[in-house]
Structure 1
């Protein structure tokens, strides 16, 4: 006869090794809100977390201190990490960074960016930060998904 502890131990092992469930979406659900999923792609590893920041349709607030509309921090999952938000249909901009060391800071020096980053519309960053016009996108009545390619400088 099998010990009743064995099935419980097996179940505990399965639960411990199962992937973590995605956290609830940021923002408030309700009438007039739709779900936006942001998929940060091409992560090089599953260390730390990914910070996903949504900015409103206001170029003055894009990347400005205190300018964000919503932010989610989710455990990194390579090669794709997803976060979701409840938003009204409209125009937004998204910036992401892979916080590999989990210090909740985008680590960089004057000459080097040490962590991966990305912007909606895969906006180019060859000569500095992208303009708001390059990252701005529409969220329709059905919501949707925005894919953001993560770039690393080293």
Structure 2
């Protein structure tokens, strides 16, 4: 009986250790999202990107974004990296901020005068895409996406 009892304890201890290790491995996994921006009309200004993990605020409420950064344009194509993202779906909005004000400038009737783009490169008709149209899956250590900028006017 003593032998069986110690064997059960050994098996339970092994299972507990494996469960703890798999939980820790899953908790520590973070992926990196590399965003390549194509179609810049000039190297003037900066590119500003916002990353959203939900539809709330996408694409134009940067206060609701999971992450945001503006980077001076250093060449074409321009690549911006977002490290330490948990596995999941993310939608990215990009603007070519030619005047450095951190916003997508528009004319009097609301048409963008600076370049812009979204993950998955959805077709833009009368307004911005929905989160689901732009969502990309980050599920591994490195996810690479490409965003093609669009210009309606100017820049």
Question: Shared topology, TM-score over 0.5?
Answer: yes
For 2:58 and 2:144, how far apart are their aligned partners in 1? 20
Shift of 1:78: 4.4
SS at match of 2:120: helix
Which residue does 1:150 correspond to in 2? 149
Q: Runs of 5+ in structure 2 lacking a partner?
A: 1-26
SS at match of 1:122: coil
SS at match of 1:133: helix
RMSD, aligned CA:
1.6
Which residue does 1:35 correspond to in 2? 32
Which residue does 2:96 correspond to in 1? 98
Which residue does 2:66 correspond to in 1? 69
Shift of 1:111: 3.9
1:55 to 52, 63, 81: 52
- Deviation >4 Å, runs of 4+: none
TM-score (norm 1): 0.74
* Contact 1:42–1:78 under 8 Å retained in 2: no
Within a 5 Å distance, the mapping from 1:2-151 to structure 2 comes to 31-56=28-53, 58-63=54-59, 65=61, 66-86=63-83, 87-109=85-107, 110-151=109-150
TM-score (norm 2): 0.74
Q: Which has the higher helix share?
A: 2
For 1:78 and 1:122, how far apart are their aligned partners in 2? 21
For 1:107 and 1:62, how far apart are their aligned partners in 2? 17
Across the two proteins, how many residue pairs are aligned to each other?
A: 124
Which protein shows a greater Rg?
A: 2
